[in-house]
């Protein structure tokens, strides 16, 4: 596990699993809240940063944008794959009630939004539409979400790569 992307992707994936378990043990609703999402996002950013930092160190302190982007993106892919597999297991085998809680939270949020805008007639209609939706978390949906997440990973890797790249001043005259 000498490759920084693999090392920090696996470490970050397991850190994400541990965070998920801690939040789930405290209160499963935390997993569906902004707090849980924000904590997961911070773990993601941290481990991607660590992979990029080590990659730059292995390159003697200098790394171009394309190279660091690859390291960061691969780290994201590994982390998100581990996390997606664990969430699939959690929702389908460990706590099958999570999907029902997710549906209830969606209904409450929609009702709150409708009442904020003074549209009391829409509350029941929105609740009924959410009730009809399929909240199951199949392998297909997990894979689809993971693949869609690659777009987010690419954006994060692009931003972090732009910040972390460092040109070797000895080779500037070749550009």
- For helices 120-132 and 98-116, the axis angle rounded to 10 degrees is 160
Tens of pLDDT, residues 127-147? 777 777 777 889 999 999 999
**If you ran DSSP here, which 8-state letter would residue 96 be given?**
T
Q: Exposed, middle or buried by CB within 10 Å (0-12, 13-18, 19+), for 44?
A: buried
Q: How many CA atoms lie within 13 A of 19 on its CB side?
A: 22
Q: Model's pTM, two decimal places?
A: 0.85
Tens of pLDDT, residues 155-170? 999 999 999 998 877 7
The 10 Å Cβ neighbour count of residue 91 is: 21
Tens of pLDDT, residues 28-70? 888 878 888 899 999 999 999 999 999 999 998 999 999 999 9
Residue 91 has pLDDT above 60, yes or no: yes
Measured between alpha carbons, how far apart are the two ends of the chain, in Å?
34
**If you ran DSSP here, which 8-state letter would residue 119 be given?**
-
């Amino acid at each position: 596990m000498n490759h920084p992307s693999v090392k920090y992707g696996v470490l970050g994936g397991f850190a994400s699993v541990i965070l998920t378990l801690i939040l789930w043990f405290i209160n499963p609703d935390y997993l569906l809240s902004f707090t849980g999402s924000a904590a997961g996002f911070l773990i993601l950013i941290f481990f991607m940063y660590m992979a990029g930092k080590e990659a730059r160190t292995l390159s003697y302190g200098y790394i171009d944008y394309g190279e660091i982007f690859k390291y960061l993106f691969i780290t994201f892919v590994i982390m998100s794959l581990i996390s997606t597999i664990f969430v699939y297991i959690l929702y389908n085998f460990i706590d099958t009630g999570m999907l029902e809680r997710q549906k209830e939270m969606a209904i409450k949020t929609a009702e709150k939004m409708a009442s904020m805008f003074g549209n009391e007639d829409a509350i029941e209609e929105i609740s009924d539409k959410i009730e009809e939706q399929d909240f199951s978390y199949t392998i297909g949906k997990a894979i689809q979400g993971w693949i869609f997440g690659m777009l987010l990973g690419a954006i994060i890797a692009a931003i972090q790569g732009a910040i972390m790249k460092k040109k070797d001043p000895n080779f500037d005259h070749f550009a």
